[in-house]
């Protein structure tokens, strides 16, 4: 029997409240725990631990210093669910679903602090 449950990446952000709004209101995650500058969010079997950077510590937004890849069963269903909220984000922050040559259909979303969230579904490559 496997001893592993899930991977729960840490994501460092400048403003925790802003990150929580993004994850809950846009991506549909739920806050499971929050204390001070730390929060644990989850949606189905995917989770993030978000830690607010100390005051005075700066990171340039949009540098894609951190990327998370979330495998899903039906990317188009997820996209249809999220699209009304994704449409409120800057156009350059959302890369609509596209079939990649390496056999994945992907949706990319840039979070407010420059962290890239990728959602992907395995697809059959043409023979």
Report the CATH superfamily, name and number, of domain 10-55+63-122. 2,3-Dihydroxybiphenyl 1,2-Dioxygenase, domain 1 (3.10.180.10)
Cα distance between residue 71 and residue 88, in whole Å: 24
Largest interatomic CA distance in the chain: 53
Secondary structure of the chain: what % helix, strand, coil (to 5)?
Answer: 20, 40, 40
- State residue 55's pLDDT score: 76
Average pLDDT on 48-55 reads: 87
Q: Whole-number mean pLDDT of the chain?
A: 87
Average pLDDT on 64-91 reads: 90
Long-range contacts at 35-40 (CB < 8 A, ≥ 24 apart): 40/8
Helix, strand, or coil (residue 10): strand
Here the tokens at position 1 are 């029997």
pLDDT reading at 124 higher than 70 = yes
């Amino acid at each position: 029997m496997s001893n592993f449950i899930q991977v729960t990446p840490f994501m460092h952000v400048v403003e925790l409240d802003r990150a929580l709004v993004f994850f809950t209101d846009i991506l549909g995650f739920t806050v499971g725990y929050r204390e001070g500058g730390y929060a644990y969010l989850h949606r189905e079997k995917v989770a993030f631990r978000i830690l607010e950077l100390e005051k005075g510590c700066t990171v340039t937004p949009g540098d894609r210093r951190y990327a998370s890849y979330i495998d899903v069963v039906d990317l188009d269903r997820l996209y249809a669910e999220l699209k009304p909220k994704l449409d409120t984000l800057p156009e350059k922050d959302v890369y609509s679903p596209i079939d990649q040559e390496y056999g994945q259909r992907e949706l990319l979303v840039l979070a407010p602090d420059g962290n890239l969230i990728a959602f992907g579904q395995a697809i059959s490559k043409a023979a």
